[in-house]
């Protein structure tokens, strides 16, 4: 159980954990593809797969309603994830709508980014004064490393997506998790950047993410250990302000959650609308330890 709490002592437990403040809503995430993905990566913290229907897709009308709310709350930027966002049949219309409100980033495994889709994304980007960013996941230097995590044949398909985006004049942010073990240190990062240049990205952009010990990752490695908790931790004001839950929320078809990580945790659902969720959040989940200890922020 990822919640770090003593059964039967809820009131006492609530007082043992620090809370993240809500300093103002700046970043809104959309679980736009629900939990459906065309891949089933071995490290996925919400175990997305072709058959995972835990979270439904968001449709354009729902996204637009939340965008209107977000505008009134002064939101700065929008992120779209899943699952695989390009499985959502309305994804281009959704990105187009978002880009009327602010900058947008879409997180994708890239396998559905054809040359035509890349050109459509470029057109969306050109039509807005705000930035459209594509974050493309890769988990190794070669097919052997990547495909062990993301599935057979995916390395070649990701390279094809990189080529399609580059040809369309878009420079994706390559996102690598520490499942690619070398990515965590500076020498490994340097090698990875060299590799990306060799693969055709002239100006490689790179984000390295720590792993979350949730979902499928618990089978691949392990779950959180007993000591990996924020119980009894007194957060410095600056550390609390740096947490993504101090300025962000995640919209799903099932309601608004505290962050993109905890959508499988019912206690992390904070309301039906963004405005209902503008309050502090108690950091009782084991994954909160990763955000604090490793400085994880899902933003680019």
Contacts with other proteins by CB under 8 A lie at: 24, 26, 70-77, 101-103, 125, 129-133, 169-171, 186, 189, 203, 205-206
Kindly state the smallest distance separating residue 102's Cβ from other proteins, in Å.
Answer: 3
Kindly state the smallest distance separating residue 17's Cβ from other proteins, in Å.
Answer: 26
The beta-strand segments (E) located in 192-234 are 205-209
Cβ closest to other proteins, residue 36 vs residue 170:
170
Kindly state the smallest distance separating residue 173's Cβ from other proteins, in Å.
Answer: 8
Contacts of 271 (CB under 8 A, 6+ apart): 255, 256, 277
Cβ closest to other proteins, residue 51 vs residue 186:
186
b/e per residue, 222-252, with b = 16+ CB within 10 A? eebeeebbbbebebeeeebebbbbbbbbbbb
Cβ closest to other proteins, residue 189 vs residue 191:
189
9 contacts 115 by C-beta, under 8 angstroms: no
Contacts of 153 (CB under 8 A, 6+ apart): 147
Cβ closest to other proteins, residue 91 vs residue 170:
170
285 contacts 269 by C-beta, under 8 angstroms: no
Kindly state the smallest distance separating residue 123's Cβ from other proteins, in Å.
Answer: 14
135 contacts 207 by C-beta, under 8 angstroms: yes
Cβ closest to other proteins, residue 76 vs residue 220:
76
Side-by-side strand order, sheet with 173-177: 205-209, 173-177, 132-137, 104-108, 77-81, 27-31, 248-252, 255-257, 269-271
Kindly state the smallest distance separating residue 186's Cβ from other proteins, in Å.
Answer: 6
277 contacts 247 by C-beta, under 8 angstroms: no
Kindly state the smallest distance separating residue 74's Cβ from other proteins, in Å.
Answer: 3
Cβ closest to other proteins, residue 125 vs residue 277:
125
């Amino acid at each position: 159980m990822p919640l770090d709490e003593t059964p039967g002592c809820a009131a006492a437990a609530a007082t043992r954990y620090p809370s993240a403040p809500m300093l103002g809503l700046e970043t809104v995430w959309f679980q736009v593809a629900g939990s459906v993905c065309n891949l089933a990566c071995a490290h996925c913290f919400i175990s997305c797969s072709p058959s995972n229907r835990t979270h439904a897709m968001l449709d354009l009308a729902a996204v637009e309603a939340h965008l209107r709310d977000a505008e009134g709350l002064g939101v700065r930027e929008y992120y779209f994830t899943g699952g695989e966002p390009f499985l959502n049949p309305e994804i281009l219309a959704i990105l187009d709508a978002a880009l009327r409100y602010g900058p947008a980033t879409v997180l994708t495994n890239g396998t559905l980014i054809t040359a035509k889709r890349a050109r459509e994304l470029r057109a969306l980007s050109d039509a807005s004064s705000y930035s459209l960013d594509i974050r493309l996941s890769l988990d190794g230097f070669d097919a052997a490393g990547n495909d062990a995590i993301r599935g057979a044949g995916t390395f070649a398909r990701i390279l094809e997506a990189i080529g399609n985006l580059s040809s369309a004049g878009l420079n994706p942010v390559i996102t690598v998790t520490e499942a690619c073990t070398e990515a965590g240190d500076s020498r490994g990062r340097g090698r990875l950047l060299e590799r990306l240049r060799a693969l055709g990205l002239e100006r490689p952009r790179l984000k390295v993410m720590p792993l979350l010990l949730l979902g499928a990752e618990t089978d691949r490695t392990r779950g959180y250990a007993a000591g990996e908790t924020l119980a009894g931790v007194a957060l410095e004001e600056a550390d609390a302000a740096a947490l993504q839950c101090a300025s962000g929320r995640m919209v799903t078809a099932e309601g608004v959650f505290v962050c993109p990580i905890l959508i499988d945790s019912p206690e992390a659902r904070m309301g039906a609308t963004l405005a209902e969720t503008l309050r502090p959040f108690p950091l009782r989940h084991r994954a909160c330890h990763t955000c604090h200890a490793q400085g994880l922020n899902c933003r680019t």
